[in-house]
Protein backbone atom coordinates (compact mmCIF):
# COMPACT_ATOMS: atom_id res chain seq x y z
CA UNK A 1 0.00 0.00 0.00
CA UNK A 2 2.63 2.49 1.13
CA UNK A 3 4.61 2.10 -2.09
CA UNK A 4 2.07 4.30 -3.90
CA UNK A 5 2.25 7.13 -1.36
CA UNK A 6 4.26 10.30 -1.97
CA UNK A 7 6.13 12.60 0.39
CA UNK A 8 4.25 15.42 2.07
CA UNK A 9 7.43 17.52 2.39
CA UNK A 10 10.41 18.13 0.13
CA UNK A 11 13.44 16.15 1.30
CA UNK A 12 16.33 18.22 2.61
CA UNK A 13 19.68 18.11 0.84
CA UNK A 14 23.17 18.82 2.14
CA UNK A 15 26.63 19.27 0.68
CA UNK A 16 29.66 17.35 1.90
CA UNK A 17 30.97 20.28 3.95
CA UNK A 18 27.59 20.87 5.57
CA UNK A 19 27.21 17.20 6.49
CA UNK A 20 30.77 17.11 7.84
CA UNK A 21 30.00 20.07 10.08
CA UNK A 22 26.94 18.37 11.54
CA UNK A 23 28.78 15.16 12.44
CA UNK A 24 31.97 16.79 13.73
CA UNK A 25 31.35 15.44 17.28
CA UNK A 26 31.97 11.89 16.01
CA UNK A 27 35.27 10.39 17.25
CA UNK A 28 38.12 11.74 15.17
CA UNK A 29 35.90 14.36 13.50
CA UNK A 30 35.82 12.36 10.23
CA UNK A 31 35.17 14.02 6.89
CA UNK A 32 32.09 12.95 4.94
CA UNK A 33 33.02 11.50 1.56
CA UNK A 34 29.57 10.64 0.20
CA UNK A 35 25.90 11.22 0.98
CA UNK A 36 23.08 8.87 -0.01
CA UNK A 37 19.42 9.78 0.42
CA UNK A 38 17.51 6.89 1.99
CA UNK A 39 14.05 5.84 0.85
CA UNK A 40 11.13 4.85 3.05
CA UNK A 41 10.33 7.96 5.06
CA UNK A 42 7.58 10.30 3.89
CA UNK A 43 8.05 13.25 6.24
CA UNK A 44 11.63 13.57 7.49
CA UNK A 45 14.97 13.27 5.68
CA UNK A 46 17.37 10.39 6.33
CA UNK A 47 20.83 10.45 4.78
CA UNK A 48 23.52 7.78 4.84
CA UNK A 49 26.93 9.37 5.39
CA UNK A 50 30.15 7.57 4.46
CA UNK A 51 33.60 8.75 5.49
CA UNK A 52 37.01 8.89 3.87
CA UNK A 53 38.84 8.07 7.12
CA UNK A 54 37.21 4.70 7.69
CA UNK A 55 34.68 5.61 10.39
CA UNK A 56 31.65 3.32 10.01
CA UNK A 57 28.75 4.78 8.07
CA UNK A 58 26.06 6.64 10.01
CA UNK A 59 22.57 7.94 9.30
CA UNK A 60 21.87 11.65 9.64
CA UNK A 61 18.20 12.20 10.44
CA UNK A 62 16.73 15.68 9.87
CA UNK A 63 13.33 16.26 11.47
CA UNK A 64 10.91 18.15 9.23
CA UNK A 65 7.34 17.00 9.97
CA UNK A 66 7.25 17.70 13.71
CA UNK A 67 10.47 19.01 15.29
CA UNK A 68 9.10 18.33 18.78
CA UNK A 69 9.47 14.60 18.18
CA UNK A 70 13.27 14.76 18.12
CA UNK A 71 13.60 14.77 21.91
CA UNK A 72 11.19 11.86 22.17
CA UNK A 73 13.22 9.79 19.73
CA UNK A 74 16.41 10.51 21.68
CA UNK A 75 14.66 9.19 24.78
CA UNK A 76 13.57 6.09 22.86
CA UNK A 77 17.18 5.37 21.90
CA UNK A 78 18.20 5.60 25.56
CA UNK A 79 15.30 3.34 26.59
CA UNK A 80 16.17 0.83 23.87
CA UNK A 81 19.79 0.69 25.02
CA UNK A 82 18.68 -0.11 28.58
CA UNK A 83 16.24 -2.82 27.49
CA UNK A 84 18.24 -4.35 24.64
CA UNK A 85 15.67 -3.43 21.99
CA UNK A 86 16.57 -3.61 18.27
CA UNK A 87 17.07 0.13 17.72
CA UNK A 88 20.20 1.67 16.12
CA UNK A 89 22.66 3.29 18.51
CA UNK A 90 22.31 7.05 18.88
CA UNK A 91 25.62 8.91 18.67
CA UNK A 92 24.16 12.33 19.42
CA UNK A 93 21.36 14.71 18.51
CA UNK A 94 20.14 18.24 19.11
CA UNK A 95 17.02 20.36 18.80
CA UNK A 96 18.53 22.60 16.12
CA UNK A 97 21.55 22.77 13.85
CA UNK A 98 23.54 25.53 12.14
CA UNK A 99 22.90 24.24 8.60
CA UNK A 100 19.14 23.65 8.22
CA UNK A 101 17.96 24.90 11.61
CA UNK A 102 15.96 21.73 12.26
CA UNK A 103 16.47 19.12 14.98
CA UNK A 104 18.71 16.26 13.95
CA UNK A 105 20.15 12.96 15.14
CA UNK A 106 23.10 10.81 14.14
CA UNK A 107 22.65 7.05 14.53
CA UNK A 108 24.49 3.93 13.46
CA UNK A 109 23.95 2.64 9.96
CA UNK A 110 22.48 -0.88 10.21
CA UNK A 111 23.08 -3.22 7.28
CA UNK A 112 19.86 -4.79 6.15
CA UNK A 113 16.95 -4.69 3.76
CA UNK A 114 13.40 -3.50 4.30
CA UNK A 115 11.04 -6.22 5.47
CA UNK A 116 8.48 -5.35 2.80
CA UNK A 117 11.01 -6.08 0.05
CA UNK A 118 12.30 -9.36 1.51
CA UNK A 119 9.23 -11.10 2.96
CA UNK A 120 7.34 -11.51 -0.35
CA UNK A 121 10.36 -13.35 -1.83
CA UNK A 122 10.44 -16.03 0.88
CA UNK A 123 8.37 -19.19 1.11
CA UNK A 124 7.76 -22.06 3.47
CA UNK A 125 10.17 -22.43 6.37
CA UNK A 126 12.20 -19.36 5.42
CA UNK A 127 9.11 -17.14 5.54
CA UNK A 128 8.12 -18.73 8.86
CA UNK A 129 11.55 -18.09 10.41
CA UNK A 130 11.40 -14.43 9.43
CA UNK A 131 7.86 -14.00 10.78
CA UNK A 132 8.84 -15.58 14.09
CA UNK A 133 11.82 -13.22 14.37
CA UNK A 134 9.66 -10.16 13.73
CA UNK A 135 7.01 -11.32 16.19
CA UNK A 136 9.54 -12.02 18.94
CA UNK A 137 11.18 -8.62 18.49
CA UNK A 138 7.80 -6.89 18.63
CA UNK A 139 6.93 -8.76 21.83
CA UNK A 140 10.17 -7.54 23.42
CA UNK A 141 9.25 -3.97 22.48
CA UNK A 142 5.80 -4.43 23.99
CA UNK A 143 7.34 -5.82 27.19
CA UNK A 144 8.19 -2.21 28.11
CA UNK A 145 5.05 -1.07 29.92
CA UNK A 146 3.59 2.08 31.42
CA UNK A 147 0.94 2.96 33.98
CA UNK A 148 -1.27 4.86 31.53
CA UNK A 149 -2.06 4.87 27.81
CA UNK A 150 -1.34 8.11 26.01
CA UNK A 151 1.04 10.32 24.09
CA UNK A 152 4.57 10.88 25.36
CA UNK A 153 6.46 14.06 26.07
CA UNK A 154 10.14 14.29 25.21
CA UNK A 155 11.10 12.26 28.28
CA UNK A 156 8.62 9.42 27.53
CA UNK A 157 6.25 10.44 30.30
CA UNK A 158 2.59 10.16 29.32
CA UNK A 159 1.59 13.80 28.86
CA UNK A 160 -1.80 13.25 27.18
CA UNK A 161 -3.78 10.21 28.35
CA UNK A 162 -5.96 8.50 25.73
CA UNK A 163 -8.51 5.69 25.64
CA UNK A 164 -7.25 2.82 23.47
CA UNK A 165 -10.40 0.74 24.00
CA UNK A 166 -13.70 0.63 22.18
CA UNK A 167 -15.03 3.98 23.39
CA UNK A 168 -11.81 5.69 22.37
CA UNK A 169 -11.96 4.21 18.87
CA UNK A 170 -15.60 5.24 18.39
CA UNK A 171 -14.92 8.78 19.59
CA UNK A 172 -11.80 9.21 17.47
CA UNK A 173 -13.49 8.02 14.29
CA UNK A 174 -16.36 10.42 14.84
CA UNK A 175 -13.87 13.22 15.41
CA UNK A 176 -12.07 12.44 12.13
CA UNK A 177 -15.02 11.47 9.93
CA UNK A 178 -17.80 13.74 11.19
CA UNK A 179 -16.11 16.74 12.81
CA UNK A 180 -13.17 16.60 10.40
CA UNK A 181 -12.83 16.13 6.62
CA UNK A 182 -12.29 12.36 6.77
CA UNK A 183 -15.87 11.38 6.04
CA UNK A 184 -16.03 13.43 2.85
CA UNK A 185 -12.73 11.96 1.66
CA UNK A 186 -13.80 8.43 2.46
CA UNK A 187 -17.21 8.92 0.86
CA UNK A 188 -20.53 9.27 2.67
CA UNK A 189 -21.74 5.68 2.19
CA UNK A 190 -18.46 4.09 3.23
CA UNK A 191 -18.11 6.46 6.19
CA UNK A 192 -21.57 5.50 7.45
CA UNK A 193 -20.78 1.82 7.01
CA UNK A 194 -17.51 2.22 8.91
CA UNK A 195 -19.13 4.02 11.83
CA UNK A 196 -21.83 1.35 12.06
CA UNK A 197 -19.20 -1.39 11.95
CA UNK A 198 -17.17 0.23 14.71
CA UNK A 199 -20.25 0.81 16.86
CA UNK A 200 -20.93 -2.92 16.67
CA UNK A 201 -17.40 -4.31 16.94
CA UNK A 202 -15.17 -1.89 18.86
CA UNK A 203 -16.06 -3.40 22.22
CA UNK A 204 -13.76 -6.30 21.34
CA UNK A 205 -10.82 -4.04 22.18
CA UNK A 206 -12.04 -3.83 25.77
CA UNK A 207 -11.36 -7.54 26.26
CA UNK A 208 -7.62 -6.84 26.40
CA UNK A 209 -6.50 -6.66 30.04
CA UNK A 210 -2.77 -6.20 29.45
CA UNK A 211 -0.91 -3.10 30.65
CA UNK A 212 -0.23 -0.15 28.32
CA UNK A 213 2.96 -0.85 26.42
CA UNK A 214 5.59 0.83 24.27
CA UNK A 215 3.95 1.13 20.86
CA UNK A 216 5.95 2.06 17.77
CA UNK A 217 2.84 3.23 15.86
CA UNK A 218 4.48 2.95 12.43
CA UNK A 219 5.57 -0.68 12.63
CA UNK A 220 5.41 -1.42 8.93
CA UNK A 221 7.69 -3.08 6.43
CA UNK A 222 9.55 0.10 5.49
CA UNK A 223 10.61 0.75 9.11
CA UNK A 224 11.81 -2.80 9.81
CA UNK A 225 15.25 -3.88 8.61
CA UNK A 226 16.02 -7.58 8.20
CA UNK A 227 19.16 -9.47 7.22
CA UNK A 228 20.37 -13.06 6.77
CA UNK A 229 21.15 -14.93 9.99
CA UNK A 230 22.33 -18.47 10.78
CA UNK A 231 19.03 -20.21 10.04
CA UNK A 232 17.35 -17.68 7.79
CA UNK A 233 16.33 -14.04 7.72
CA UNK A 234 15.95 -12.18 11.02
CA UNK A 235 14.96 -8.73 12.21
CA UNK A 236 17.97 -6.40 12.43
CA UNK A 237 16.52 -3.05 13.54
CA UNK A 238 13.34 -1.04 13.95
CA UNK A 239 13.62 2.53 12.66
CA UNK A 240 11.79 5.87 12.93
CA UNK A 241 10.18 6.12 16.36
CA UNK A 242 8.67 9.59 16.06
CA UNK A 243 5.07 8.37 16.47
CA UNK A 244 5.69 6.11 19.47
CA UNK A 245 3.21 6.24 22.35
CA UNK A 246 1.90 4.14 25.24
CA UNK A 247 -0.82 1.93 23.78
CA UNK A 248 -1.77 -1.70 23.19
CA UNK A 249 -0.08 -4.39 21.07
CA UNK A 250 -2.80 -4.21 18.45
CA UNK A 251 -1.74 -0.91 16.90
CA UNK A 252 1.63 -2.33 15.83
CA UNK A 253 0.20 -5.68 14.80
CA UNK A 254 -2.43 -3.96 12.68
CA UNK A 255 0.15 -1.82 10.94
CA UNK A 256 2.52 -4.74 10.35
CA UNK A 257 -0.17 -6.94 8.83
CA UNK A 258 -1.56 -4.47 6.34
CA UNK A 259 -1.38 -5.84 2.81
CA UNK A 260 0.78 -7.21 1.39
CA UNK A 261 2.53 -8.66 4.48
CA UNK A 262 -0.68 -9.72 6.20
CA UNK A 263 -1.73 -11.77 3.18
CA UNK A 264 1.50 -13.69 2.72
CA UNK A 265 0.73 -17.37 3.42
CA UNK A 266 1.57 -18.21 7.01
CA UNK A 267 3.22 -14.88 7.85
CA UNK A 268 0.66 -13.69 10.41
CA UNK A 269 0.69 -17.07 12.14
CA UNK A 270 4.49 -16.97 12.29
CA UNK A 271 4.42 -13.47 13.79
CA UNK A 272 1.99 -14.70 16.46
CA UNK A 273 4.19 -17.72 17.17
CA UNK A 274 7.22 -15.48 17.64
CA UNK A 275 5.23 -13.13 19.84
CA UNK A 276 4.03 -16.00 22.01
CA UNK A 277 7.54 -17.51 22.20
CA UNK A 278 8.75 -14.78 24.55
CA UNK A 279 5.82 -15.12 26.89
CA UNK A 280 3.40 -12.50 25.55
CA UNK A 281 0.43 -14.60 24.46
CA UNK A 282 -2.04 -12.98 22.08
CA UNK A 283 -5.81 -13.46 22.52
CA UNK A 284 -7.73 -15.74 20.12
CA UNK A 285 -9.26 -12.82 18.16
CA UNK A 286 -6.08 -10.78 17.93
CA UNK A 287 -6.30 -10.35 14.15
CA UNK A 288 -9.69 -8.66 14.49
CA UNK A 289 -8.42 -6.51 17.35
CA UNK A 290 -5.41 -5.49 15.29
CA UNK A 291 -7.59 -4.49 12.34
CA UNK A 292 -9.85 -2.46 14.63
CA UNK A 293 -6.93 -0.63 16.24
CA UNK A 294 -5.44 0.09 12.81
CA UNK A 295 -8.59 1.99 11.84
CA UNK A 296 -7.27 4.74 14.11
CA UNK A 297 -4.36 5.33 11.75
CA UNK A 298 -6.53 5.33 8.64
CA UNK A 299 -8.98 7.80 10.17
CA UNK A 300 -6.07 10.02 11.16
CA UNK A 301 -4.67 9.92 7.61
CA UNK A 302 -8.06 10.89 6.19
CA UNK A 303 -8.40 13.90 8.51
CA UNK A 304 -4.93 15.36 7.96
CA UNK A 305 -4.24 18.51 6.01
CA UNK A 306 -3.22 17.59 2.46
CA UNK A 307 -2.69 13.83 2.91
CA UNK A 308 -0.10 12.37 0.51
CA UNK A 309 -1.33 11.15 -2.85
CA UNK A 310 -2.46 7.55 -2.67
CA UNK A 311 -3.34 7.61 1.03
CA UNK A 312 -7.06 8.20 0.49
CA UNK A 313 -7.32 5.32 -1.98
CA UNK A 314 -5.43 3.07 0.43
CA UNK A 315 -7.71 4.12 3.29
CA UNK A 316 -10.84 3.30 1.31
CA UNK A 317 -9.44 -0.10 0.37
CA UNK A 318 -8.44 -0.94 3.93
CA UNK A 319 -11.74 0.22 5.42
CA UNK A 320 -13.69 -1.94 2.96
CA UNK A 321 -11.49 -4.94 3.76
CA UNK A 322 -11.87 -4.46 7.51
CA UNK A 323 -15.65 -4.22 7.34
CA UNK A 324 -15.66 -7.38 5.21
CA UNK A 325 -13.16 -9.01 7.61
CA UNK A 326 -10.64 -9.55 4.83
CA UNK A 327 -7.59 -9.44 7.06
Q: Give 144-180 pLDDT, tens digit per residue.
A: 999 999 999 999 999 999 999 999 999 999 999 999 9
Residues 173-212: tens digit of each pLDDT: 999 999 999 999 999 999 999 999 999 999 999 999 999 9
Distance from the Cα of residue 265 to its chain's centroid: 23
Phi/psi of residue 24, each to 5°?
-55, -30
| pLDDT for res 11 | 74
Reported confidence tier of residue 136, pLDDT bands at 50, 70, 90: very high
Let me know: does 174 contact 198? Beta carbons within 8 Å.
no
What's the predicted TM-score (pTM) here?
0.94
Cα separations (Å) of 71 from 33, 45, 96, 186, 227? Answer: 28, 16, 11, 34, 29
Residues in the chain: 327
Gap between the Cα atoms of 19 and 51, Å rounded: 11
- What top-level class would CATH report for the domain 113-323? alpha beta
Gap between the Cα atoms of 5 and 170, Å rounded: 27
Helices 188-201 and 311-323 sit at what angle, rounded to 10 degrees?
50
> What is the average per-residue pLDDT within 100-120?
96
Multiple choice CATH, 2-108, 3.40.50.300, 1.20.1050.10, 3.90.550.10, 3.30.200.20? 3.30.200.20
Closest CA to 97 of 149, 61, 57: 61
2: DSSP letter: G
Closest CA to 7 of 37, 39, 49, 48: 39
Closest CA to 246 of 210, 272, 276: 210
Phi/psi of residue 196, each to 5°?
-65, -40
Domain ranges within the chain, ordered by starting residue = 2-108, 113-323
> What is the average per-residue pLDDT within 311-324?
96
Residues 275-309: tens digit of each pLDDT: 999 999 999 999 999 999 999 999 999 999 988 77
Amino acid sequence: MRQQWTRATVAASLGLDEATALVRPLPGAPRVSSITALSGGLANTNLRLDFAEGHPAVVLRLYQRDPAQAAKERSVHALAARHGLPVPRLWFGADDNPVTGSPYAVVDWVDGQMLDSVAPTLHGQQAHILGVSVGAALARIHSVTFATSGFFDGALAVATPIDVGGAGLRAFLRHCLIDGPGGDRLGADLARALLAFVDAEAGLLDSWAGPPCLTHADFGGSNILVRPATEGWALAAVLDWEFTFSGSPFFDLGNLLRPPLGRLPGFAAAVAAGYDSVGRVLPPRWREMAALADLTAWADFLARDNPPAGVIDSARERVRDTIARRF
